[in-house]
Amino acid sequence: MKPFLYLSAFLLLALTALVVRVEFFSTQTRLFSGRLDDAVPRAVIGWQSKDLPLAESTAGIQSVRGVLNYDQVVQRLFVKGDIQIIVYVAYWEPGRVSLVDAGSHNPDSCWVYAGCERLERDYAQPGKIGARNLLPYEHGLYRTPAGGQIHAMFWHLVNGEPNRYDEQEIGWRNGLVGRIERTTLVIKDFKERGIEQRREQMFVRLSSNKSPRELLANPDAQFLLSQLGKLGIYGDEHWK
C-alpha cells in the first residue's frame, strides 16, 4: 500500500510542478508585436468607417472584457454602397488564456447563446484575394433575433496558425456548465499541442450582409480585405 501512496504523491507533485512551470514560467516568444488599432486601418480609400463599441454602456464593455480577458481588441465598421463589413479582432498575448477559452468565443457560441439561429456552416474554406491565398476560414450564416441575416467569416489563430472548428457545437455556455461541455475539445487540445495551452492567439471575424463568395468576388471588398494582412490571415504574410 505504501509504495502506491508514495507513487501517487510523487505523480501529484510532478504534475503540480509542471502546471506551475507552464502557468508562471512560460518562455513563449510573442510573434505579433503590433497594435490592432494599426493592423485594422481606420481609413480605407473609398470606404466609410467608424469604430463600434463592444457594448452600449461602460459597464457592459467592462463585462465583455472580463469574460474575454483579451489584451487588445478592435471593432470597426466599413461601408461602401450596399456592402457593410464589421471587422472584429481580439488578441491574447502568450500566457493569457487557454485555446478553448479564446476559441469558444465565436459566432457558434456567443451569437447563438444570445438568441441567433445558425442557418449554414462551412469549415476550413479556401479563399483568394488576387494572387494571395487566405488562410482557411470558417463561415456561418446566422439569423438574428430581429429576423435579419448576417454572414461571418472568422479565424482563430494560435501562434499564427488557424485552429480547427470541425467539432464545434452550437452554443457553448458560460461558466462551469460550458467548461464541462467543452471537455472533449480540451482533451483534443492537450493531445495536439501539449500541456502549454495558453499560447499567443488572435480571433478575427468579418461579419457582413454579403456572403464570403460575394465579398471575395467584389473588387471593392477585395481591396478592403487586402488591407488586413497584418492580422496574419494570408498564407504569405505572418504576424509581425
Map out the domains of the chain as residue ranges: 30-231
pLDDT band of residue 188 (cuts 50, 70, 90) is low
Dump pLDDT digits (tens) for 35-64: 999 999 999 999 999 999 988 777 888 888
> In terms of DSSP H, where are the helices of the chain?
2-24, 36-39, 58-68, 99-103, 112-113, 175-181, 183-193, 212-217, 219-226
pLDDT band of residue 98 (cuts 50, 70, 90) is confident
End-to-end, the C-alpha distance of the chain in Å comes to: 56
**Cα separations in angstroms, 101 against 3, 48, 85, 202:** 38, 33, 26, 12
For residue 105, what pLDDT is reported?
82
Dump pLDDT digits (tens) for 112-127: 888 999 999 999 999 9
All 3 cell numbers of residue 1? Answer: 500500500
pTM of the model: 0.81
From the list 156, 158, 228, the residue with the least C-alpha distance to 199 is 158
pLDDT band of residue 221 (cuts 50, 70, 90) is very high
For residue 102, what pLDDT is reported?
79
CA distance 135 to 25: 31
